[in-house]
Amino acid sequence: MTRVRMNTKTKLAIARSAYVPISFARRVAGFGDVVRVRRNGFTWELDLGEGIEFTIYLLGAFERETMRAYTRVLRPGDVVLDIGAHVGAHTLPMARCVGAEGRVIAIEPTTSAFRKLTKNVAANPSICDRVQAVQAYLIGSGDKRSATPSGGLFSSWPLRRAEDLHPIHRGQRASIEGAERVTIDALLERLAIPKVHFVKMDIDGVECAVLSGAKHLLEQHRPRFIMELLPYGLEEHGASLSELVGIFHAHGYTFTDLHGVPLPRNVADLAATIPVGGSRNVLAFPQ
């Protein structure tokens, strides 16, 4: 059976239709949208008016298929980079996967999401010692596309009424005040990370610029990746799916779906598997 892939706008519309009655019922009962709950074995502080956080509240996790994929791939003792950690939706489950000897470096540039990330990590003492949260805006090495965005970065997918939303994915920009500007390679050197085994990357189209500052990561660490392919987002940042795929192919990587099934090597054929105005998460393995 063919799996129907929805674009982000459709997913948010579905989430909003569930949020409205739940939020109304909470207000009638005298409660607001901010909750502290236990989901999937973790304690979370969540704002139900935010799409990702509402999904955790309602379904127990965000992107369960992605979670199942990295749970199969991660091993005890692994060192993980969570690039685009947001509120910790995947940081916390990955920290559980890597065990007491593992480590997760959770990188989030936006001020509001980073504050929530640190709260959610601290609320879970069983895994907090293996997570290092870093507020950083990752840049490329001499890549002009790494200029700091004047309006901030898209880091909020509001379910409440809001203005100035992205026309396709309906996200809202958030400030990156306080974020360090640094390349991946420079950050790994400063943190004295001898080996990265796995990277989760969800950065809404700036992958090509960021990876230009990750030469050592790709050539020496050679981690496995789980990442989002977002063609329209890449184009908005002066890149393309062809450029992104080319970076990985040039370093000897191959792509599979989240179940390990090889994906087309031809970029046009790969693009045909991604919904218009949407994305898909994939795995990339070094050969």
- Structural domains in the chain plus CATH codes: 61-286 (3.40.50.150)
Query: How far apart are the C-alpha atoms of 253 and 164, rounded to whole Å?
Result: 38
Q: Find how far residue 171's CA is from the centre of its chain.
A: 14
How distant, in Å, are the alpha carbons of 6, 76, 200, 242 from that of 222? 31, 18, 13, 21
Ranges of the chain whose pLDDT falls below 50:
1-2, 4
At 6 the pLDDT is 60
At 280 the pLDDT is 95
Closest listed residue to residue 210, CA positions, set 177, 178, 170, 237: 237
**Considering the entire predicted model, what is its pTM?**
0.94
At 2 the pLDDT is 42
At 163 the pLDDT is 84
